[in-house]
Amino acid sequence: MTQLLKPLSFWSVAILAIGMSSMLAGQQGRGQGAAPPPPESQAGHPSGKLVIWGDIASFDQPATAPTHCILTNRFKRGQRLGFRMTAIDGGSGEVENTTVLMVHLKYAGQTIDIPMRWRGQGNFPAREYPRQPSEMWTGVWVVPADAQPGTLSYTVTAMDRFGRTASFSPFINVVSQITIVE
């Protein structure tokens, strides 16, 4: 079901992700703009397999809304669905900050690729984050106004600057999948 990325150079994947992000910035659900390139690699990396995992949450606006960042898999039309992931160097147990992640959402018979942005750079409001969220990548999709109720599936693929790849799929139970509700 999940196909791993073909071996490409890290910079090819990074440029592709940034280019896609810029190209799609004006489309619904993709208004994050271009992400800055990942930082230089950390000492001691790579030292194991690349490991990724994450969840989905409500990314309602404003960020101070009571439902913002609440874990859920049930979304209404017009609601912002947030994908949150982390990438770890399996040998050191440290965040692999050179990773480029992409969500592959199955919707209306097509696969929508949603680039994820590393959150380890930038200014984050102290009222939301007690520290810099250096272990987090995020991607956003806005449920279309004409979305039909039902379940959607997704996977996430990743590649770091060392060419290591990983993929993530949520549990296969249908109650764990993204669900569009009235």
Tell me the pLDDT of the chain averaged across its residues: 80
Per the omega criterion (within 30 degrees of 0), is the bond before 62 cis? yes
Comparison of pLDDT for 120 and 156, the residue scoring more: 156
pLDDT at 109 over 90: yes
pLDDT above 90 covers what percent of the chain? 49
| Model pLDDT, residue 142 | 97
Exposed, middle or buried by CB within 10 Å (0-12, 13-18, 19+), for 110? exposed
**Mean pLDDT (whole number) for 96-100:** 92
Other CB atoms within a 10 A radius of the CB of residue 99 amount to 28
pLDDT at 2: 40
19-23, 39-43, 65-69, 89-93, range with the lowest pLDDT: 19-23
Q: What is the pTM of this model?
A: 0.75
User: With bands split at pLDDT 50, 70 and 90, how would you rate the model's confidence at 107?
Assistant: very high
Residue 46 in contact with residue 162, Cβ under 8 Å?
yes
Reported as type and span, the H/E element at residue 16 is helix 10-24
The pLDDT of residue 25: 37
Round to whole Å and give the CA distance between 73 and 79: 12
